Amino acid sequence: MFRPRHALRHRRGPARGGPRTEGLLYQPGFLSPAERVELVSYLETLHPLWEDRFSAQNPPPPGQKQRRLLRPVYWLGNWQFACLDYYRPPGLIRDRCVRAEPFPPVLARLVRRIEALARERFQGPDLPEGWHLDTCLVNFYGSQVEPDGRRADVARVGEHKDFEPGPVASISLGERALFQFVRSQRPGEREAVVLQQWLEDGSLQLFGGPVWKQQLFHRVQRVDKREGHRFALHVQGFETRRINLTLRYVPDAHVVPFARLSPGPSADVRGYLEELARHSPFFARELSAAPP
């Protein structure tokens, strides 16, 4: 049976009766040194976005205010803007996924290797027909930096599920991150940590199936600082010490060019497209093809 590195050391609660680790793979050293250099060099050409969580078409719930995401992001393959409320099939699929830049060559090569690993480990309903990794969320973890130099560490992600069908893969760069699978309790009770894993620089994590993907939530609890990793990115007011690429699958039929978004969602994200178009020929073409 596969046991993720450090899993027994950090596991909370009784070891017996827990979920089996089929459907969960952790592979340290997945990236070669040359692949890491090529991938980081590409990522440092990007201009990540600071996105707001809500918009005119998707306003804050009663009692809440507009807020910015904790970290800048970039998407490849398709862009799921936070204010469009992300992709959650079967019901919430329309106007969720906007066509984005294709994977760069180094990532395309890595994806082919990951897909081969996934097809060895998942079958039947755990690997939907047509599954392939065509969506990449690039999350930048670190500290917000105020003009006066003060820093606020925001290197975390709360518990959530990924709703795209099939296995999910992630590649980690920089400082190691404490990744946890949790089982939600009743309101007011603390979440039960089922398993936690340090994700190291250059590692791959792959998970899917009924336990790890469907039943449990997952989160990034914290990101270390001890190795001193820093990335030179085109983003102001933020110091990045970890980058994570999360790879998922969205059926082609659910991905639309910006020009085919409905009027309301199109208006909500046009400002983001204009910002992206200043640095990306791909998005400049997408914007020029859309009605004014």
Predicted confidence (pLDDT) per residue in 266-289, tens digit: 999 999 999 999 999 999 999 999
Give the pLDDT band (50/70/90) at residue 233. very high
Q: Which two tokens stand for residue 43?
A: 């990522």
CATH number of the domain where residue 129 is located: 2.60.120.590
In a domain, 167, yes or no: yes
Taking 70 as the threshold, does the pLDDT of residue 16 lie above it? Answer: no
Judge contact between 156 and 222, C-beta under 8 A. Answer: yes
pLDDT digits (tens, 9 = 90+) for 57-96: 899 999 999 999 999 999 999 999 999 999 999 999 999 9
In a domain, 2, yes or no: no
Per-residue pLDDT at 267: 97
Residues in the chain: 292
| β pairing state of 217-223 and 157-160 | antiparallel
- The mean predicted confidence, pLDDT, of the chain is 91
Specify the higher pLDDT residue, 198 or 236. 198
In a domain, 291, yes or no: no
Which residues are CB-neighbours of 277 under 8 A, at least 6 positions away? 283, 284, 286, 287
In a domain, 258, yes or no: yes
Buried b (16+ CB within 10 A) or exposed e, 135-160: bbbbbbbbbbeeeeeeeeeebebebe
Taking 90 as the threshold, does the pLDDT of residue 255 lie above it? Answer: yes
Q: Could you list the residue range(s) of the whole structural domain that residue 260 is in? A: 7-285
In a domain, 39, yes or no: yes
In a domain, 292, yes or no: no
C-alpha triplet 97, 51, 44: angle, nearest 5°: 90
Burial of 85 (0-12, 13-18, 19+ CB in 10 A): middle
- In whole angstroms, give the CA distance from residue 210 to residue 214: 5
Number of domains in the chain: 1
Element (H, E) at 37: helix 33-43
Per-residue pLDDT at 7: 37
pTM of the predicted model as reported, rounded to 2 decimal places: 0.90
Judge contact between 131 and 249, C-beta under 8 A. Answer: yes
- Using only the alpha carbons of the chain, give its radius of gyration: 19
Burial of 244 (0-12, 13-18, 19+ CB in 10 A): buried
How far the first Cα of the chain sits from its last, in Å, is: 57
Give the pLDDT band (50/70/90) at residue 18. very low
In a domain, 12, yes or no: yes
In a domain, 1, yes or no: no
- In whole angstroms, give the CA distance from residue 55 to residue 272: 12
